[in-house]
A = this chain, B = another copy of it.
Amino acid sequence: MGEQITYSISEAIESDVSDLELIYIEKHIFDIIRKLEGSEFLRAELFSYAARINALYMIMRAGSGHLGSSFSSLDIVSWLYLNVIKPSDRYYSSKGHDSPGLYAVHTALGILDFSNIHKLRRFGGLPGHPDIQTPGAFTNTGSLGMGVSKAKGFFIADKLKKRDNGKIYVLTGDGELQEGQFWESLNTISARNDDRLVIIIDHNKVQSDKLVSKVADLGDLEAKFRAFGLDVFRCDGHDLVAFDEMLNTNNGKPKVIIADTIKGKGISFMEHTSMESEFYKYHSGAPNKEEYSLAIKELLLQITRLSNQLNFQQFEVSKVEIEPLTISKTFKKLIPAYSDAIIELAQTYPDIVALDADLVLDTGLIPFKEKFPERFIECGIAEQDMVSQAGTIALGGGLPIVHSFACFLTTRPLEQIYNVSTERSKVIYVGSLAGVLPGGPGHSHQAIHDITYMSSMPKMTSIEPISENQAKEALEWAVKLNSNSTYIRLVSVPIEQCNEIDNLVLQEVGIGAVLTEGSDFTILTCGPILSVQLVKASEILKSKGINIKVIVTPWLNEINLKWLEEVIMDSKGLLVCENHSSKYGFSDFILSKIAETGICKVPNIFKLGVDGIPAYGRPEEVLSYHKLDALSLAEFVLEKVEKN
């Protein structure tokens, strides 16, 4: 990080920011804002605009982060923290991805050490979704729909511990209302009738991909909440006077405030009301530098306006030069390859129906949706509903292909997947964002148990494609050759180019490939992430005179024993490792097979995976923490080889 320079706001507006410069607001400015004389509503508004600058700063530095909902909720969050929340109260966001906004408030108020604004999505810094190890976080969120349930649990604990009765403010998304658990959690609300509960709906109209109304219109939301026994309020979520009035009305019942907000509020071209395409652009990624530059100007103009109204002329802006994010080499991407494959197959197989749970941008389904609108089902954030629908589509003669992030797809609807499997139906499940990378979003989004859950399912074959070729072939195999169900585990992060894996094709069931030859040690793995690291490790080790054999298989619950014997029989030592937990994981599957069949007389056998709670941070930080980067893997082998 370069030296920090401070400007007056007018200088900042006039000067251009270079490609490597970012702007933020120091904590002492927030301290001053809080003490300004004048309207408390204006103060909160100024505070929230300054916080927007910092939230945007964090996202730009991280290269990703949820901008749209941070901005839609920042007025509310600022107001709550400046004027409402008492020490015995709790506030948390059920959706959790609006954390850059929350962190901006927490750092401004000293709840979080201010230096954290430079560490969003970095190891040892701030995770992409809340974690209770971060000061100010009351519970882990990021898996949707859990917020109200969690509040009920806190109330029970408070009663048990005879604690002072603090209020609980739960912010939820509007897309989040598609999750069944949200409604499930309301069932006992009226019976328990705890008026300390305040649910605030950040009704910004846009879910991950597009307008909520285009996915599953919420209908008469007020009537729904009223029917579930809540005291219902509704206001413009950027009108703090109205919002505060509703907060202060107490009818002795648990309360919901539907706050009509604007996604991306504060930057004209990011506001959802100015959306020109079907898809909203600023849900989770970082804007480009041109957009950043324009955005900063707009925010600074708002700040100027508000500062003037509050007679605060000394508003200072800090500018800092950051290290460029290394965008190195050529990358391979599995999602676009998969995206092409499903289109191609759908042309020949008219029974293919693709189902999606509000992640069409991430699961590569836009081309499919455009080409086969009749065979594309947008289920919304409703994984259980999606899988049960897929099951009967299959019973009715269709071939459903179900998409979501692996972390959600293999957990939220697990009972539904089992139910479908007991119907002996053929359903293809495609879980993207699989494995410990990206590490930025944190544990709620890191699928490190999906292999276990899906591979243990009756009548299910699990595959993790290693190359673009294999991503295509895996789907072909699932559609054309497998009469049962298939789980396709897709890594979403770009994969470094690596000659050894780039052109790998899918062999027959249970057979993998040898990536590097070597007689000193053998390593078997699955998936592209560790394959690349292992090829690199083999190069490091070669320079030390050690030659390792690296083997990779796309088949996660099938193994051809003859092949396995052939490739491992001469090993002097064997490591099985995985981009996944090794507790009841892929390694156990392989090692058990080795024990069971007695084919391996290898004296030294080891396993390694993402054990415990996955670390968050940049890819290299996360792999290194779990000792799954090339260097750690090379060291591991070195130690084992030296021992013998």
Q: A-side interface residues toward B, CB under 8 Å?
A: 131-132, 138-140, 143, 145-146, 149-154, 156-161, 163, 177-185, 187-188, 190-191, 216-217, 219-220, 223-224, 226-229, 350-351, 353, 374-375, 377, 379-380, 382, 384-386, 388-398, 400, 407-408, 411-412, 414-416, 418-419, 421-424, 443-444, 449, 452-453, 455-459, 557, 581, 583-585, 587-592, 594-598, 600, 603-607, 611-613
Contact = CB atoms under 8 A, between A and B. Distances in A.
Contacts of A611: 458
Given A160-B375, A185-B385, A414-B411, A146 B395 contact: no
Nearest to A588: B592
B458 A153 contact: no
A388 B583 contact: no
25 contacts: A138-B395, A139-B423, A149-B388, A150-B392, A153-B388, A153-B393, A153-B395, A156-B377, A156-B389, A156-B396, A157-B393, A160-B350, A160-B353, A177-B187, A180-B184, A181-B416, A191-B217, A220-B227, A226-B227, A227-B227, A419-B444, A459-B613, A557-B584, A592-B595, A598-B604
Copies of this subunit:
2
Nearest to A213: B191
A398 B219 contact: no
Contacts of A408: 415
Nearest to A556: B584
A489 to B, nearest CB: 14
Task: Tell me which of A377, A585, A591, A606 has the highest count of chain B C-beta atoms within 10 A of its own C-beta.
Answer: A591
A464 to B, nearest CB: 15
Contacts of A353: 156, 160
A272 B416 CA distance: 31
A395 B139 contact: yes
A382 B180 CA distance: 10
B595 A583 contact: no
Contacts of A224: 224, 227-228
A569 to B, nearest CB: 14
B180 A183 contact: yes
Nearest to A350: B160
A423 to B, nearest CB: 5
A396 B227 contact: no
A377 to B, nearest CB: 6
Nearest to A443: B422
A419 B229 contact: no
Contacts of A414: 411-412, 414, 453
A424 B131 CA distance: 10
Contacts of A449: 418, 456-457
A140 B184 contact: no
Which of A583, A590, A597 has the most chain B CB atoms closer than 10 A to its own CB?
A583
A527 to B, nearest CB: 17
A395 B157 contact: yes
B379 A188 contact: yes
B187 A385 contact: yes
B457 A385 contact: no
Identify which of A132, A158, A185, A374 gathers the most chain B CB atoms within 10 Å of its CB.
A185
Nearest to A224: B227
A595 B591 contact: yes
Contacts of A161: 396-398
